[in-house]
Structure 1
Amino acid sequence: MNLQSVLLNVVRVGDLTIKLPGGQTLKLGDGSGPALTARITSNSWAARIATNPGLGVGEAYMDGGLVLEQGEISAFIDLIGANAEFKKKKRRGPIRRWLRRTIREANNRVQSLRNVAHHYDLSYDLYRRFLDEDMQYSCAYFERPDITLEEAQLAKKRHIAAKLNLQPGQSVVEIGCGWGGLALQLVEDSDVEVDAITLSIEQLKIAKARAEAKGLAHKARFSLTDYRDLQGTYDRVLSVAMFEAVGRPNYQAYFDGVARLMKDDGVGLVHSIGRPEPGVTNSWIDKYIFPGGYSPSLSEVMPAIERAGLIVTDVEILRLHYAETIRHWRVRFEAARADIAELYDERFCRMFEFYLGIAEQSFRARRQYIWQIQLAKRVDALPITRDYIAENERAFAKPAKRAA
């Protein structure tokens, strides 16, 4: 099938003009939304996009094979998302699906280290230009629509701490710690001890330095450790924005590990990007952004939790919070684009713009959301109503508590 046939079949809504290499112009969509004009620069790029649009469009934008002559990349991505429902899903047999998933998401220790380095070992100077001051690289919690990104990320940390129902002196293990901000917040606000792990060498250096600077290295301990190698038992087991890197073949081992690490009266919380039904990771995202990653539906996760002997004590779905988080990141990235281009190059900037754009769009179009699953071994490990969560959040927000 040639590109013209693909485009006519897929683009049903929007206002898109495509200039083809031979001089032909296609007018696509129903005329709704902002007018967009894109030019495809060669026949080879036209063939690559036609053969695999999910991979080819992103690659063409990155490498100059697709040039926007009218409109913004965010509007172009919105148009792609709006037409996604018209794409025919490729039917694969169960054996083929299983093989593809097993290979791509195997994520053994060597693969996991390599996959994490691909994204998280990028320059700290890159991330500090578009994240909040605490370097939170996960979904913020917008208690009100008018708060800043910094306020929303602080609210996220309070929300998680409140669900853990922490008590002074308790032990916490954090599986996937980023640059250390959440672990340090828990130590400061709740007077707990945290063992936090990562597979990112760059993040580990920053997290350790932050703990030393705050004089908290004895209570917030960071290490380069695979979750499968963790030992000991803890009062609280926490994982934020790491589960997406586990891979479906490893779900049982992961939750068996959570159960093994959790004391009998302990509590766990897993925060992850999810989807409303089982699916596949976008091929461009898998190749360029998060190799080996997969955002699961709840139906794919719950059986492993049950088999691990854990009780689901609370589930919360955060719907548009990540869309708003990414919108803030995208605006900040654009404001710092010239500096980022000096760190890397124009191709990298176009890649990251495309990534942030399709990520935001996927949350706005209801193809992804955040789920937080609270876990325990005992039915009496937590209060029997959810009132304690709001009470804990209010306590964390008090100036006296924050200064403690």
Structure 2
Amino acid sequence: MNRMLDTVVRRLVQTGSLEVVDSAGNTRTYGDGTGDLIRLRFTRKSAERNVMIYPGLKFGEEFMNGGFVFDRGSVYDFLELVFSNLKDTYPTKLMEYGAKVRYATRRLRQANNQRRARRNVAHHYDLDGRLYSLFLDKDLQYSCAYFEEGETNLEVAQLAKKRHLASKLALQPGQKVLDIGSGWGGLGLYLAERCGVEVTGVTLSEEQFETSNRRAKERGLSDRVRFLLQDYRTLEGPFDRIVSVGMFEHVGVGHFREYFNTCRDLMKPDGVMLLHSIGRFEGPGDTNSWIQKYIFPGGYIPAISETVPAIELADLKITDVEVLRLHYAKTLRVWRERFMAHREEAKKIYDERFCRMWEYYLAGSETSFRYWDLMNFQIQITRDQNVLPLTRNYMFEAEERLRAEDERAVARGALKLAGE
């Protein structure tokens, strides 16, 4: 067996049960023997070398291309084992050096001008719409759900997420709301229906643009909700409220100040903004090279510590911060389980390699949130500190009002949840 591979795996896997079979048929055992056995078998020698030289990229590529297979367990089981064993130090100096180089050059990969931003969005969000319907909730919410105490149903948790976001915006009927990165339109439609506001949503995805406008028309909301295929940097305001969910991860660290300066200029003096983003517990970093290449080109998960300065420099005021710790791990688990249950359907839309790619993406994302340094944060922002009540009670009261309305809508059949 590759000596470097053996050394790294032995150093990394202290607990659990792992067997690695090299391309020549030699088997090594790692861990303390606890838990279910995972057996990874290399199908070619080059794969052993590749995952050692550049694991951040090549491990995912070799899984996609069949360079190794799992005779026992799955790629999720393996990543769960690795991340639960992962320490603060890198297994090798080469990996540590590679991480430093990537961090030093991250702005180059995140240079998301308008043309590049549109291309990057199309790479992921303009996939065949049937794919997302295989694993998302009925409202096509492709962001972290909000699992209230004891809740396990994804549809209910995604509805709770929209309610939670709305409660922090302190909405009043007739206000103009901007949704930056509006997805398939679910949040904008919810705000219009429940809160009586006018919503403008912007996306760079043609699939999302067409779907969201069709949904608005079908629900008779086209007079109050419009979705534009437009970069947020080209909009004209002003808006009473701005909400942005799952879009800030596509901005890039070099564009943080531009993002918040634009939001300030689009917001009325008495406006309120709510930013919902994936974040890092451990401070600034860089995007995994496999994710960068295959899933989210140009993407970057920000740390709160590098987000706050950009808000302050835009002469904006932070009025509330909330960290959602394991909500995305729970969301991703449901997505992964649904995707795997419909894997054959996804294979008919694309192919086996694509299915392996998405299995690895969903498994790696879930384990990162569950065992590593990822979370979600929500930051409420204003231009004037006097525009909101002194305490957070208004949020709780609004959330309860919306909950009652949601329950009434479900009762009369106007709102359908999964399984009903």
TM range (shorter): over 0.9
Counterparts of 1:136-175 in structure 2 under 5 Å?
136-175=141-180
TM-score w.r.t. the length of structure 2 is 0.92
Tell me what 1:127 maps to.
132
Give unmatched runs, 5+ long, in structure 1: none
1:207 paired residue among 204, 209, 212: 212
Distance across 2 between alignment mates of 1:384 and 1:18: 59
Amino acid at match of 1:62: M
Determine the C-alpha separation between the residues in 2 that align with 1:211 and 1:179.
10
Q: Does 2:194 correspond to 1:192?
A: no
Q: Deviations over 1:270-298 (max 9, x none)?
A: 00000011111111111111111111111
* Alignment correspondent of 1:306: 312
Matched, 1:343 2:349: yes
Moved more, 130-139 or 362-371: 362-371
CA distance in 1, matches of 2:179, 2:405: 26
Q: Which moved more, 1:368-377 or 1:57-66?
A: 57-66
**Which residue is equivalent to 2:35?**
33
- The verdict on how the C-alpha distance between 1:98 and 1:331 changes in structure 2, with shifts beyond 3 A counting, is closer
Structure 2 CA distance for aligned equivalents of residues 346 and 307 of structure 1: 47
1:247-326 alignment, distance < 5 Å: 247-276=252-281, 277-326=283-332
Deviation track 1:92-139 (CA, whole Å, cap 9, x = no partner) reads 798x56651121011111211111111111111010111000000000
Could you list the runs of 5+ residues in structure 2 that have no partner in the other structure?
Answer: 415-420
The count of residues paired between Structure 1 and Structure 2 equals 403
Deviation per CA, 1:340-384: give whole Å up to 9, x if none: 111111111111111111111111114100000000011111111
Deviation at 1:402, TM superposition (A): 5.9
Q: Quick one: distance in 1 between partners of 2:108 and 2:5?
A: 30
Quick one: structure 1 residues 236 and 75, their matched pair in 2 at CA, closer, same or farther if it must change by over 3 Å? Answer: same
Question: What residue number does 1:352 align with?
Answer: 358
- The alignment partner of 1:280 has SS state of coil
CA RMSD of aligned residues (A): 1.8
Q: Partners of 1:172 and 1:317 in 2: how far apart?
A: 24
Quote the sequence identity (%): 49
Equivalent residue number for residue 364 of structure 1: 370
Whole-angstrom CA distance in 2 between matches of 1:131 and 1:61: 24
1:34/1:75 contact within 8 Å kept: no
CA contact (8 A) 2:151 2:157 kept: no
Q: Distance in 1 between matches of 2:69 and 2:127?
A: 26
SS at match of 2:24: coil
User: For 2:31 and 2:274, how far apart are their aligned partners in 1?
Assistant: 44
Matched, 1:225 2:225: no
In the alignment, the residues of structure 2 paired with residue 290 and residue 152 of structure 1 have an alpha-carbon distance, to the nearest angstrom, of 25
1:52 aligns with 2:54: yes
1:333 aligned partner: 339
Cα offset, 1:233, TM superposition? 0.7
Contact 2:12 2:82 in 1 (8 A): no
Question: Following the alignment from structure 1 to structure 2, what is the Cα–Cα distance between the partners of residues 384 and 39?
Answer: 60
TM-score of the superposed pair, with normalisation by structure 1:
0.96
Mapped contact 1:274–1:368 kept (Cα < 8 A): yes
Give, as a single letter, the amino acid of the residue that structure 2 aligns with 1:203: Q
Between 1:189-198 and 1:222-231, the stretch displaced more is 222-231
Q: Which amino acid aligns with 1:247?
A: G
Amino acid at match of 2:90: K
SS in 1 for 2:32: coil
Q: Is the Cα contact below 8 Å between 2:83 and 2:372 reproduced in 1? A: no
Aligned partners of 2:338, 2:297: CA distance in 1, in Å? 25
Question: 1:303 & 1:260 partners in 2: Cα distance?
Answer: 17
